[in-house]
Structure 1
């Protein structure tokens, strides 16, 4: 029989799991863990004072999002995306977002146009600072507004399926010199086409924006693959622990997670 006490315990466990997921996700997206870095379950359990069962549920969620990979006999590592992976993801993303731009220009309400304008304004404001999780979040909010105004639930579901994979790649591209300014200009083109209610121009602007990002991701990941083929650590050096990385300073505006 379910009791109030058991319901409270279930709620507390769900809340704690969400905290662990968000803390690890933020640390990875901000680059405090690098692709291929191993997460030591014991260290994370001790840090958050959670059971191994709860932690593994959190890690499974991050693996489903494409942020982690679970390697047999090794455990969870930060997902490694190859240039080939990126090409596949961006090819799909270009098609989906082109459709989102077209549909938004055709179907969005006045309220949805205003919501998109507000999201773009927030992105412009965030772009004045250093690239990081805050910038990724506001750009995610822009695309959420775009897909909501497209009024195509299946399209929205498909974009949601690749959301965190795209965000992982976006962390690589937006940090490249000059890319953020170009990204703002490209999204400005999308906004202008949408303001004219021009589906063809809006769709093409969305595709162009994605393919420009794809070209940068391809170059960055190809270079990283070449670098990974060379030894990167001297004998006797120690890898940073999960405790060190997750306990680093929290993103601006977010409180440090308390031990529970």
Structure 2
């Protein structure tokens, strides 16, 4: 792997490396189940072992890295059961967040949600994965802030960190981009335009259920691709 030079200004080194390693995991530079060897990471990001260890501890707390006995830290490998469990909780919490946004969001937050959706509608189909993720994150950041519930906020942050590793599967699936825009438009209409808590909850749940189905389908396909060919 080529070295990823860290800018030694602005954000602290730890924060920069943390962001770079997350990006590389998302881009499949590190595959699920792959060992994260400190020496290789030090060389790749050109930082000390101390920084790498701090970053790995942070990613482990987020569920993105798992420490395996006799192997050390590895990229967390989510099973279909893990994925279903994550999306079940995400569905419930985002549904609640949508309902609370409909009831509690300020006029400015409602307007901001519409602006993000408008930008997504114009660029989402042609955007690369990183750009799509950034727009989705912005949409959800506004939605969750408008729910005004710190427990939902902190809990969803942990869930989204783990789901982030799977979003590449669902967001790049054929035909998923226009479906995503339609689903987010339904959330915006119910929560921000009409202020209908029940409809907002349902729209959020539909979006998560569809994302879960796509993710599980793509995960299954990827696992089949990586299976060893059987000897006849």
1:75 matched residue in structure 2 = 72
The equivalent of 2:4 in structure 1 is: none
Question: Is 2:215 the partner of 1:222?
Answer: no
Counterpart CA distance in 2 for 1:180 and 1:75 is: 37
User: Does the CA contact (< 8 Å) of 2:125 and 2:177 recur in 1?
Assistant: no
| Matching residue of 1:19 | 16
Rg comparison, structure with higher value: 1
Alignment of 1:1-260 (within 5 A): 15-194=12-191, 195-230=193-228
How much does 1:121 deviate?
Answer: 2.6
The SS at the match of 1:76 is strand
Aligned to 1:253: none
Check whether the contact 2:97–2:152 (CA below 8 A) recurs between aligned residues. Answer: yes
- Which has the higher relative contact order, 1 or 2, with Cα contacts under 8 A spaced 6 or more apart? 1
Structure 1 unaligned regions, length at least 5 = 1-10, 233-260
Structure 2 Cα separation of the partners of residues 159 and 21 of structure 1? 19
Aligned residue pairs: how many? 222
Alpha-carbon distance, 1:130 to partner: 4.2
1:110-169 CA distances to partner (integer Å, 9 max, x unpaired)? Answer: 011012112223333441324412211210111010010011111112111212112112
For 1:247, the equivalent position in structure 2 comes to none
Deviant stretches of 4+, over 6 Å = none
Moved more, 158-167 or 16-25: 158-167
**Map of 2:3 onto structure 1:** none
Distance 1:151 1:186 in 2: 22
How far 1:67 sits from its partner (Å)? 2.0
TM-score normalised per structure 2:
0.88
Query: CA deviation digits over 1:167-190, x for unaligned, max 9?
Result: 112121111100111111111111
Query: Superposition RMSD on alpha carbons, in Å?
Result: 2.2
SS in 2 for 1:162: helix
Q: Structure 2: where are the runs of 5+ without partners?
A: 1-7
